C-alpha cells in the first residue's frame, strides 16, 4: 500500500500529490490541486482525513478533504487572515487549527467544523511578538509552545496552557523561556517517547533540546549542538526539524550550507550526537520522513526539486537516491499513510 506525499508549491499556487513506494521510496506524481493564494505551510489532521493549508501571498487558511482511496484533495473551507501564517498544525484531537505569524506577531486558534472544514473567526488571536514561527500542543494536549526567532523577534519560546475543549490559550508561568545565547528558536518537534522537545535555531544554526515538565508545562534547556561543520562561516539558517518515529534519529536542514544535518538520539536521555551531514538541494526549507523511517525527502526551495534519501536503520545515515522536479518554490512537504 503506497504512502502519500503533499508538496505546497507557493509560486505555482498548487499542491502536488505523489505516491511513495514503501519499499523503494520512489515517487510517482498523481495529481496537481489548485491552491490559490500561495500555499506555504500544511498540516494533516490526526485522523488523516483532512489537510490544512496556510497561504502566504493571499493570507488565508484553507481545508481540503483527503480521498482515503487515492489521496486526492477536495477543498471544503477557507477563512481570510489578517496576516500570513508561517506555520499551521492541529491540536492532538483535530478539533482546532493552530497557526503562527512571523510578521503578524500573533498566534491563533481556529475552530474545525464537524465536516473537517476550517472557517469562522478565530477563537484566539493573541499578540505575542514579531518572529513567531511555529505552534504545537504537547502529547497531552494541555500545553502549547510558540518559538520566536531572534533579531526581529525576542529569542524566546512562549509557553501556554491549552484548553482542548474550548481552544483557549492562557499564558503559563513563566510565560516564556529565554535562552541566554542568541539562538533564534524557529521550529520544533516532540520526542515520541521522552518528555523532550527539540528546536531548530534559525540564527545560531543549531538544535536545542528542552525537557518538558509535564506537571507544569514548562521547558528547561539541556543541550545545544551545531548543525554546521567546523570552520564554516558563510551565511546559513536552519528551518524545519524532525525526529524519527523510533526516537533514535533527528534531522535538521541547513539553508546556505545546503545540507541535512544528522544526529543520533540517546533514547534514555534524549542527548544528541552529531553523525554528519549530507548534501541537499539548494535551500532545503522542507523535509519529511516516511511513516516507517525508511526514507527522507527534502525539497529545495531554490532548485525546485525534491531529493530522496534512504535511511540506514542502524545508524540513521542518509544515502542519496533520486531527485524529482517539483515546480516553483516548494515550501512544505507532508507525508501520510492512508487505509486505501
Neighbours of 256 (CB within 10 A): 16
Instruction: Establish if 336 belongs to a structural domain.
Output: no
Give me the pLDDT at residue 263, please: 98
Q: Classify 68 in phi/psi space as left (phi over 0), alpha (psi -120 to 50) or beta.
A: alpha
- Domain ranges, residue 169: 35-148+150-183
Tens of pLDDT along the chain (340 residues) come to 899 999 999 999 999 999 999 999 999 999 999 999 999 999 999 999 999 999 999 999 999 999 999 999 999 999 999 999 999 999 999 999 999 999 999 999 999 999 999 988 999 999 999 999 999 999 999 999 999 999 889 999 999 999 999 999 999 999 999 999 999 999 999 999 999 999 999 999 999 999 999 999 999 999 999 999 999 999 999 999 999 999 999 999 999 999 999 999 999 999 999 999 999 999 999 999 999 999 999 999 999 999 999 999 999 999 999 999 999 999 999 999 998 6
Query: What one-character-per-residue DSSP string does 258-311 give?
Result: TEEEEEEE-TTT--EEEEEEEE-SSSEEEEEE-TTSSEEEEEETTT-EEEEEEE
Instruction: Establish if 128 belongs to a structural domain.
Output: yes
Please tell me the total count of domains within the chain. 1
Per-residue cell: 123: 477563537
CA distance 252 to 49: 28
CA distance 180 to 178: 6
Adjacency order of strands within the sheet including 124-127: 87-90, 96-101, 106-111, 124-127
Instruction: Establish if 166 belongs to a structural domain.
Output: yes
Write down how long the chain is.
340
Q: What's the first-to-final CA gap in the chain, in angstroms? A: 7
CA distance 64 to 252: 28
Q: In terms of Cα–Cα distance, which of 86, 54, 90 is closest to 164?
A: 90
Instruction: Establish if 93 belongs to a structural domain.
Output: yes
CA distances from 119 to 38, 110, 213, 216, 218 (A): 18, 7, 34, 32, 31
Query: What one-character-per-residue DSSP string does 207-235 give?
Result: EEEEEEETTTTEEEEEEEEESS-TT--S-
Instruction: Establish if 239 belongs to a structural domain.
Output: no
CATH number at residue 123: 2.130.10.10
Phi, psi of 339, deg, nearest 5 = -65, -25
Instruction: Establish if 107 belongs to a structural domain.
Output: yes
CA distance 102 to 330: 19
Give me the pLDDT at residue 215, please: 97
114 neighbors 95 (Cβ within 8 angstroms): no
Instruction: Establish if 132 belongs to a structural domain.
Output: yes
CA distance 24 to 28: 12
CA distance 41 to 160: 22
165 neighbors 111 (Cβ within 8 angstroms): no
Phi, psi of 332, deg, nearest 5 = -155, 145
CA distance 229 to 26: 30
Q: What angle do CA 144, 148, 152 make, to 5 degrees?
A: 160
27 neighbors 19 (Cβ within 8 angstroms): yes
Per-residue cell: 177: 523561556
Give me the pLDDT at residue 120, please: 86
Instruction: Establish if 136 belongs to a structural domain.
Output: yes
Give me the pLDDT at residue 151, please: 85
Amino acid at each position: 500500500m503506497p504512502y502519500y506525499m503533499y508538496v505546497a508549491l507557493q509560486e505555482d499556487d498548487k499542491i502536488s500529490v505523489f505516491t511513495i513506494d514503501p519499499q523503494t521510496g520512489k515517487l510517482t506524481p498523481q495529481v496537481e490541486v489548485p491552491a490559490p493564494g500561495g500555499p506555504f505551510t500544511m498540516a494533516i489532521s490526526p485522523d488523516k482525513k483532512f489537510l490544512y493549508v496556510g497561504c502566504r501571498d493571499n493570507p488565508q487558511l484553507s481545508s481540503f478533504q483527503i480521498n482515503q482511496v487515492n489521496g486526492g484533495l477536495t477543498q471544503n473551507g477557507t477563512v481570510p487572515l489578517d496576516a500570513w501564517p508561517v506555520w499551521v498544525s492541529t491540536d492532538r484531537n483535530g478539533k482546532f487549527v493552530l497557526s503562527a505569524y512571523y510578521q503578524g506577531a500573533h498566534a491563533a486558534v481556529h475552530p474545525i467544523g464537524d465536516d473537517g472544514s476550517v472557517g469562522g473567526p478565530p477563537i484566539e488571536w493573541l499578540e505575542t511578538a514579531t518572529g513567531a514561527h511555529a505552534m504545537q500542543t504537547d502529547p497531552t494536549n494541555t500545553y502549547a509552545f510558540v518559538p520566536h526567532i531572534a533579531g526581529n523577534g525576542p529569542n524566546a519560546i512562549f509557553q501556554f496552557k491549552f484548553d482542548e475543549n474550548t481552544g483557549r490559550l492562557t499564558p503559563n508561568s513563566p510565560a516564556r523561556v529565554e535562552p541566554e545565547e542568541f539562538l533564534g528558536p524557529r521550529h520544533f518537534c516532540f520526542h515520541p517517547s521522552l518528555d523532550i522537545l527539540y528546536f531548530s535555531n534559525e540564527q545560531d544554526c543549531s538544535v536545542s533540546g528542552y525537557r518538558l515538565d509535564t506537571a507544569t508545562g514548562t521547558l528547561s534547556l539541556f543541550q545545544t549542538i551545531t548543525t554546521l561543520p567546523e570552520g564554516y562561516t558563510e551565511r546559513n539558517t536552519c528551518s524545519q526539524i524532525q525526529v524519527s518515529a523510533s526516537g533514535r534519529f533527528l534531522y535538521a536542514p541547513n539553508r546556505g550550507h545546503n545540507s541535512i544535518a544528522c544526529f543520533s538520539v540517546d533514547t534514555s536521555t534524549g542527548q544528541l550526537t552529531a553523525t554528519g551531514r549530507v548534501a541537499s538541494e539548494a535551500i532545503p526549507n522542507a523535509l519529511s520522513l516516511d511513516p516507517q523511517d525508511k526514507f527522507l525527502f527534502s525539497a529545495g526551495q531554490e532548485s525546485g526539486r525534491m531529493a530522496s534519501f534512504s535511511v540506514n536503520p542502524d545508524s540513521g545515515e542518509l544515502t542519496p537516491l533520486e531527485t524529482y522536479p517539483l515546480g516553483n518554490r516548494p515550501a512544505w512537504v507532508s507525508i501520510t499513510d492512508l487505509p486505501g
